[in-house]
Amino acid sequence: MSLYDSILITGGGGMLARASADLLREKNLSPISLTRAELDIADEGQIAGAFAKYRPTLLLNCAAHTKVDLCEQEREKADAINGIAVGTLARHCRTSGACLVHLSTDFVFDGKLKRPYRPDDPVNPINAYGRSKLLGEKQLQASAPPRWLIVRTSWVYGRGGVNFPRTMVQAAKAGKPLRVVNDQLGCPTYAVDLAQAIFNLLDANARGIWHVTNSGQTTWFDFAKATLQEFGITAPVEPLTSAQWMEMRPNSAVRPTYSVLDNEPYAWKTEQPMRSWKSALADFHAAVERDGF
């Protein structure tokens, strides 16, 4: 039986799920991609039904409660989707022998380190979203199937979803003031590159926890400026500190000041180093010009 005999993707309406499904179809594979309306992973009965119907050999879990600020008010919901449901998926994969790939986040770290975070660095999330995602990692490992991957990533954007570059471009075109945090360091990740990286890891027989982002680092402020420049838009962008942002939006989640992830283990394993975030942004622009947001 091949790993790719029956590929099930959860969270099918999201950017990574769409990019992954497109990539698989280019390889003449036929993934089953289910939206939340079609498969709510917080419902164990629906998960059991999906496993019985599709008998996946590979499950790519892209389903998540990703609204970081809202997770502060919806902690139980975040824990249910990002945490407990992952354990349910893992148990079904263990029983059926399916490989599970689960997406996690840079927000499992507290941002106090001043070098790129390695997969084995201590975790210490500082917001509800990060805690819920860490719960998912622990639930998966507690019920680990024969083969599994946890892929931590950051600042994901792509076509077919609400994301930072799209927000910046649309706000600038509408003449809205742009005020962006300039003291949080991380790395943007293009969903197309992330999808390819996941399958590179699978093809290299990787297991365990991996960090995958585009290469380099930047702040949200510089990411905003680079996006507008790439799209040929001239508009002022005002830098803010995290403290100023919290004053403006006191219900926002606290975010790590430094969450750059170390891609080197991925590059060694796959022999496919991740390209720079600016190169990826240019390709995103080209895709938007061709097909729209």
> What is residue 171's DSSP assignment?
H
Q: Where are the beta strands (DSSP E) in the chain?
A: 7-10, 32-33, 58-61, 99-105, 148-153, 156-157, 178-181, 185-186, 189-190, 208-211, 218-219, 237-240
Query: Based on C-alpha coordinates, what's the Rg of the chain?
Result: 19
**Dihedral sign from CA coordinates of 160, 162, 167, 170:** positive
Cα–Cα distance between 73 and 85 in angstroms, integer?
Answer: 19
- What is the side-by-side strand order in the sheet with 148-153? 32-33, 7-10, 58-61, 99-105, 148-153, 208-211
Contacts for 225 with CB less than 8 Å, ≥ 6 apart: 237
22 by DSSP, 3-state: which? Answer: helix
- Parallel, antiparallel or unpaired: strands 218-219 and 185-186: antiparallel
Burial of residue 236 (CB within 10 Å: 0-12, 13-18, 19+) is exposed
Rounded to whole angstroms, the Cα distance separating 74 from 26 reads 38
Is 129 known to be catalytic?
yes
Active-site residue (options: 4, 117, 129, 190): 129
Task: Classify 219 as helix, strand or coil.
Answer: strand
Distant-in-sequence, close-in-space partners of 243: CB < 8 Å, separation ≥ 6: none
Q: Give me the active site residues, please.
A: 129
